[in-house]
Structure 1
Amino acid sequence: MNRRDMLRFGVGAIACAAIAHPARAAPSFDRFRVPEWSRRRRFVSNGFGRIAFIDQGSGDPALFLHGYPLSGFQWRDAVEQLGLFYRCIVPDFLGLGATEAAEGQDLSAPSQAAMLIALLDALKIARVHVVANDSGGAVAQLLAAHHPDRVRTLLLTNCDTERQSPPPAMRPVIELARNGLYVKQWIEPWYASRDRARAADQFGGMCYADPANPTDEAIEMYFGPLLSSPARARQAEAHAIAQGGNALRGIAPMLARCPVPTRIVWGTADTIFEPANADFLAQAFGNSRGVRRIEKAKLFWPEERPDVIVEEADALWRGAKA
């Protein structure tokens, strides 16, 4: 079995498991758990801070951009499969995950994009495929608009758009963060009670379709670093505050001229971003490859449906070579 067949087998195995247990999220092959992910983590120190990332696999490089307040661990199951044939670069954004931002570092989307360019330069990677979710999608659009020579393809899932950045649901988070209360009133209780974090009216119920998500280990990976010190808590809140302005305002002409092949895959049960954003994005990009809708999928569906990410990414990336 060659590597391409292995990738297809992996997608099929995940899909079959999801069909067999439709009430549950598609399972992982259990390779990238917390100890393995932590062991593989690397760091690059530069003017932005100490940037944490995973560098897994070989072949054409791909960059995976997570949402807020998650970390690159969001992509673990998709990377497990795509890493069989591609080089997967999975960073933690400034102020989130294991990345430690430099003192006073701006944490807005433009600065996050600049940090990623510096990371790619440090790794001597000229061009990447980009996969993004949630607030990571805003950063991805900035990369494609301002650095189209660095982006080979773009796969966007539920995320910010020029018409909705930030989404209304983010406003309470931003307000709490401005008052220094977001971590204390939301993150700390979720971390202390994993069942509370997964409740229907809390983080899990708002952002995941499967009531078993986020898993205990995901909660540990996402929230643990943000509670590790007062400085990290302040950075997590500063990251939220930085989303208060629309970093995508005025980007439409650049996206219309952007030559990057762009595919949109959208969860239809998202309560954070409006469904209309999917078609808005597809129409905004000059080289759009259309929209695929995933029924009953919420904001962080890429974590629950790695089979879809693997299928769509592999098809888009192979198509870019044709």
Structure 2
Amino acid sequence: MTNEPTLQEWTDAHEETTVSLDNHELTVSYYDEGETDTAETPLVFLHGIPTWSYLWRGVAPAFEADRRVIAPDFVGYGNSAMHDGFDRSIRAQERVLEELVTQLEVDQIDLVAHDIGGGVALRYAAHNPDAVETLVLSNSIAYDSWPIQFIVDLGLPGTINDMSVEDVDEQLTQMFQSTLIDPDDEFVEAMVSRFRSDEGRISLSRNAIATNTSHTTELDYSAITAETSFIWGENDGFQPIEFAEQLNDDLENTAGITRLDANHWVPEDRSTAFVEALSNVLE
């Protein structure tokens, strides 16, 4: 897409704030661009594991002419705090989102979320039904659909302790190269580079071990009132489309599933189709 920012442009556009989480003061980095002088609801994009907000490089900018577009890096990811010693579960990330939205003085949002970001979005929408107008889930976790074995293995202390920074780099690179339809070197480099240090190596392991399935199985899905749509890669081996179908059946206010010929990394692999589908949802 012609409006797709480079890694440097995306990073330079980030701002930082501090949020409180379980008595920890943590830096949260976030992308905040687009039209603020508008009646349109701000559009918030949430990433998953092991990505960060740059996942949305080919999607988010397409909406900046009409919307305020916000894309945070969850704590433990991207340009946000990555030191050891704090919770990275989706329960914790939900609280980070709540505080960030409050700090940005936003009352209502439309949420677009991928992977574990979808779990955060589901929790936030269930606990703050008046705050979410539209919820769009893309190859999202839900119920007991997660974590996948790759993430389970990364979360084992014995595994990560035996891995060097170079080992982590190689494993992540191979995973992205093998699961992206048409791997882009800049995208893969952007995803892998954030964990390319001892701090990053440990942070990745802590992120992985924090994948607590009970945080989605405990949810009251009937509490979600936002109109919910699904933009799903129908060939995903990580979060199969059957989970989108189950959510579509279980939630009260759904607008259907857009099925794309893609694997898991739909916002990257099918950014043009994703923008078109999301535009249709937001009309």
Task: Look up the match of 1:158.
Answer: 139
Task: Look up the match of 1:99.
Answer: 80
The Cα shift of 1:117 comes to 0.8
Task: Look up the match of 1:41.
Answer: 14
Query: In the TM superposition, what are the counterparts of 1:86-235 in structure 2 within 5 Å?
Result: 86-101=67-82, 104-175=85-156, 179-181=160-162, 184=165, 186-189=167-170, 197=173, 202-206=175-179, 208-210=180-182, 213=183, 215-228=184-197, 230-235=198-203
Task: Look up the match of 2:244.
Answer: 278
Q: Which moved more, 1:28-37 or 1:297-306?
A: 28-37
Deviations 1:133-175 (A, max 9, x none): 1111111111111111221110001121103122345333333
Is 2:153–2:159's contact at 8 Å kept on the other side of the alignment? Answer: no
Q: Secondary structure at the match of 2:130?
A: helix
The Cα shift of 1:246 comes to 3.1
Is 1:165–1:246's contact at 8 Å kept on the other side of the alignment? Answer: no
The Cα shift of 1:104 comes to 2.1
Is 1:268–1:293's contact at 8 Å kept on the other side of the alignment? Answer: yes
Deviations 1:109-132 (A, max 9, x none): 010010011111111111110001
* Cα distance between partner residues in 2 of 1:177 and 1:53: 33
Is 1:160–1:167's contact at 8 Å kept on the other side of the alignment? Answer: no
Which amino acid is the alignment partner of residue 82 of structure 1? Answer: F
Is 2:119–2:141's contact at 8 Å kept on the other side of the alignment? Answer: yes
The alpha-carbon distance between structure 1 residues 181 and 154, as it changes in their structure 2 partners (threshold 3 A), is farther
Deviations 1:167-210 (A, max 9, x none): 3453333336764356747532257xxxxx35xxx33223x222
Task: Look up the match of 1:300.
Answer: 265
Is 1:75–1:303's contact at 8 Å kept on the other side of the alignment? Answer: yes
Instruction: Please say which structure displays the higher CA radius of gyration.
Output: 1
Task: Look up the match of 2:5.
Answer: 32
> 262, 277, 293: which is aligned to 2:228?
262
Q: Secondary structure at the match of 1:131?
A: strand
Is 1:54–1:88's contact at 8 Å kept on the other side of the alignment? Answer: yes
Is 1:137–1:159's contact at 8 Å kept on the other side of the alignment? Answer: yes
Q: Secondary structure at the match of 1:149?
A: coil
Greater helix fraction, Structure 1 or Structure 2? 1
Unmatched segments (≥5 aa) in structure 2: none
* Cα distance between partner residues in 1 of 2:145 and 2:82: 26
Which amino acid is the alignment partner of residue 298 of structure 1? Answer: N
Unmatched segments (≥5 aa) in structure 1: 1-27, 192-196
The alpha-carbon distance between structure 1 residues 95 and 178, as it changes in their structure 2 partners (threshold 3 A), is farther
The alpha-carbon distance between structure 1 residues 34 and 177, as it changes in their structure 2 partners (threshold 3 A), is farther
The alpha-carbon distance between structure 1 residues 177 and 161, as it changes in their structure 2 partners (threshold 3 A), is farther
Is 2:5–2:57's contact at 8 Å kept on the other side of the alignment? Answer: yes
The Cα shift of 1:55 comes to 0.5
Is 2:47–2:113's contact at 8 Å kept on the other side of the alignment? Answer: yes
The alpha-carbon distance between structure 1 residues 177 and 245, as it changes in their structure 2 partners (threshold 3 A), is farther
Q: What percentage of aligned pairs have identical amino acids?
A: 25
* Cα distance between partner residues in 2 of 1:181 and 1:149: 46
* Cα distance between partner residues in 1 of 2:158 and 2:48: 17
Kindly tell me the number of residue pairs found equivalent between the two proteins.
Answer: 275
Q: Secondary structure at the match of 1:47?
A: strand
Which amino acid is the alignment partner of residue 39 of structure 1? Answer: D
Q: Secondary structure at the match of 2:139?
A: strand
